[in-house]
Amino acid sequence: MKHTPFTQKHISLGAKMVEFAGYNMPISYSGINEEHAAVRRNAGVFDVSHMGEFILKGENALELIQRVTSNDASKLIAGHAQYSCLPNEKGGIVDDLLVYCIEENKVYMLVVNASNIEKDWNWISRHNSKKVEMHNISDKTCLLAVQGPNATRILQQLTDIDILNLKYYTFVKGKFAGIDNVLISATGYTGAGGVEIYFENAGDAADKIWDAIFKAGEAEGIKPIGLAARDTLRLEMGYCLYGNDIDDVTSPLEAGLGWITKFNKEFTAREILENQKKEGIQKKLVGFEMIDRGIPRHGYEIKDQMGAAIGVVTSGTQSPTLGKAIGMGYVRTAYAAIDTPIFIKVRDKLLQAKVAKIPFS
Amino acid sequence: MNNPENLRYTKDHEWVSIQDKTATIGITDFAQRELGDIVYVEVETIGKSLAAGAVFGTVEAVKTVSDLFLPVSGTITELNPDLANTPELVNTDPYGRGWMIRMTVDNPADVSNLLDAKGYESVTG
């Protein structure tokens, strides 16, 4: 099992540790509901150093990114990032990722899911016909997500860079907590605001930055947050989780990711996806909330009023913020409209639910 | 681990307290910690006569769901009514206000065959 530079911090804070994507990661500290609320209302720190980072460099870097991703990276100017995905040849999804433009037409950083680092690296390498310089910097890159309405105010104490006014999906690089070359990005997976901080694991940088953040946020009551609350936070927002809601056989259009699928350029499976768009998709990822009491879980069947199968649950939980059970799942397109009654098979019972707008409210 | 000495335990992480033929059953402190924040306890077997080891309900936590196993044979008579609105009692007071069911046991001697606190602690390590 791999460790992040913060593993000892988590253990000494009493975190419950689990193996996730080959890494020893904190699943929770004080409890999911408490951690979840801390991020929604205040500020929390996630160690997500298990995520993968690739640097693509050189004059053909952008062209390679354009060919392997679905979004239009040519729109990116330096200091901007975009959400995108890597489609496979059949129109499924190899992974979803963030593309950072470090230097226009020259240097890009791709941030990928921990469980897909090797798969993505091999996939992109296979398409790298023009010998773009590629570096897998995952093992030496630390990533802390500091999220919540008070996150940037707390972090501003640690740097001269203006992070309070950093626009969504933009980033800056500079000195943070005494460490040079820290990349601060106004992104996240919680919908609560805040930033993600990337830096090289060199010397005592990891300890210094972790300690500085908790010291700066002490008065505000900043908390460490585990992966369990990360999941409930993203699910309330309706953000897809790779392996749950999207995978090698789901199409970005079915997953509601049409907004990051741009047909003004060539990319893998463009024709298949463009056809899907023209002809319409058969199933669609929707949000739903339970009416009957019960919690939907990944893999549960979705049925219609007559008990006929119409889809499958991909994610589900009790929403800590809303106090009701919510989920996402694929349903046949005819059942995708908001408020459509659907039924979730929970163990041997059919429980009523209805299609709901995401983000959930 | 703070498991009361006066209770009996199963390797499925349930505890049993018995008085005459009436047993009170809940899940252990270890179990509630492993499950995390509990949001729903579902028991639809009240009045049913069930054998030891039968699934008598489920406990839903935010992240996971787990079956509840009957420690001894008997008939379930009551579900803790407080859990309907405050399932978190299982987390905050697993051996007290977070009890789950009461049952009439077929053979009270079955209870003494369950693990004692020390035996249970060797299960949880």
Q: Which residues of B touch A231 (CB under 8 A)?
A: 63
Q: pLDDT in tens for each of the 361 residues of chain A?
A: 999 999 999 999 999 999 999 999 999 999 999 999 999 999 999 999 999 999 999 999 999 999 999 999 999 999 999 999 999 999 999 999 999 999 999 999 999 999 999 999 999 999 999 999 999 999 999 999 999 999 999 999 999 999 999 999 999 999 999 999 999 999 999 999 999 999 999 999 999 999 999 999 999 999 999 999 999 999 999 999 999 999 999 999 999 999 999 999 999 999 999 999 999 999 999 999 999 999 999 999 999 999 999 999 999 999 999 999 999 999 999 999 999 999 999 988 999 999 999 999 9
HSE of A93 in the Cβ direction (CA atoms, 13 Å)?
Answer: 28
Number of domains in chain B: 1
Cβ <8 Å between A16 and B65:
no
pLDDT tens column, A48-57? 999 999 999 9
d(CA A132, CA A60): 6
How close B8 gets to chain A, by Cα (Å)? 26
Closest CB to A295: pick one of B36, B65, B91: B65
Counting runs of H as helices and runs of E as strands, what totals does chain B give?
A: 4, 9
d(CA A295, CA A316): 7
Burial environment of residue A85 by CB neighbours within 10 A (0 to 12, 13 to 18, 19 or more): buried
Q: Which residues of B touch A325 (CB under 8 A)?
A: 39
Report yes or no: A82 and A126 within 8 Å, Cβ to Cβ. Answer: no
d(CA B62, CA A32): 8
What is the number of other CB atoms lying within 10 angstroms of the CB of residue A145? Answer: 24
**What's B27's domain CATH number?**
2.40.50.100
In a domain, B124, yes or no: no
In a domain, B112, yes or no: no
> Coil, strand or helix: which one is B1?
coil
Rounded (5°) CA angle A82-A49-A25:
130
Burial environment of residue A218 by CB neighbours within 10 A (0 to 12, 13 to 18, 19 or more): exposed
Cα–Cα distances (Å) from A134 to A102, A130, B50, in that order, read 14, 11, 62
In a domain, B1, yes or no: no
Q: Which residues of A touch B58 (CB under 8 A)?
A: 347
A231 reaches B (C-beta below 8 A): yes
Report yes or no: A199 and A109 within 8 Å, Cβ to Cβ. Answer: no
How close B35 gets to chain A, by Cα (Å)? 10
In a domain, B51, yes or no: yes
Cβ <8 Å between A295 and B42:
no
Closest CB to A31: pick one of B37, B58, B60: B37
Quick one: three-class SS letters along chain A? CECCCCHHHHHHCCCEEEEECCEEEEEECCCHHHHHHHHHHCCEEEECCCCEEEEEECCCHHHHHHHHCCCCHHHCCCCEEEEEEEECCCCCEEEEEEEEEEECCCEEEEEECHHHHHHHHHHHHHCCCCCCEEEECHHHEEEEEEECCCHHHHHHCCCCCCCCCCCCCEEEEEEECCEEEEEEECCCCCCCCEEEEEEECCCCHHHHHHHHHHHHCCCCCCEECCHHHHHHHHHHHCCCCECCCECCCCCCCCCCCHHHCCCCCCCCCHHHHHHHHHHCCCEEEEEEEECCCCCCCCCCEEECCCCCEEEEEEEEEECCCCCCEEEEEEEEHHHCCCCCEEEEEECCEEEEEEEECCCCC
Cα–Cα distances (Å) from B60 to A54, B41, B63, in that order, read 39, 6, 8
Which sign, positive or negative, has the C-alpha torsion A323, A325, A327, A331?
Answer: negative
Once rounded to an integer, what is the mean pLDDT over residues B71-93? 96
d(CA B33, CA A85): 37
Q: Give residue B2's pLDDT.
A: 80
In a domain, B36, yes or no: yes
Cβ <8 Å between B37 and A33:
yes
A320 reaches B (C-beta below 8 A): yes
In a domain, B76, yes or no: yes
d(CA A152, CA A269): 39
Q: Give residue A300's pLDDT.
A: 98
Residue B1: pLDDT band (50, 70, 90) is low
Residue B125 pLDDT greater than 80, yes or no = no
Closest CB to B63: pick one of A32, A293, A325: A32
- Structural domain span for residue B96: 8-107
Cα–Cα distances (Å) from A147 to A7, A43, A319, in that order, read 20, 6, 18
How close B78 gets to chain A, by Cα (Å)? 19
Please provide the size of chain B in residues.
125
Cβ <8 Å between B62 and A347:
no
pTM to 2 decimals? 0.93
Q: Which residues of B touch A295 (CB under 8 A)?
A: 39-40, 60, 65
pLDDT tens column, B38-69? 999 999 999 999 999 999 999 999 988 999 99
Cβ <8 Å between A295 and B37:
no
Cβ <8 Å between B36 and A293:
no
In a domain, B67, yes or no: yes
In a domain, B116, yes or no: no
Cα–Cα distances (Å) from B35 to A18, A229, A245, in that order, read 13, 14, 23
What is the number of other CB atoms lying within 10 angstroms of the CB of residue A273? Answer: 21
Cβ <8 Å between A317 and B40:
no
Helix axes A32-41, A227-237, angle to 10 degrees: 60
Residue B86 has phi, psi (to 5 degrees) of -135, 65
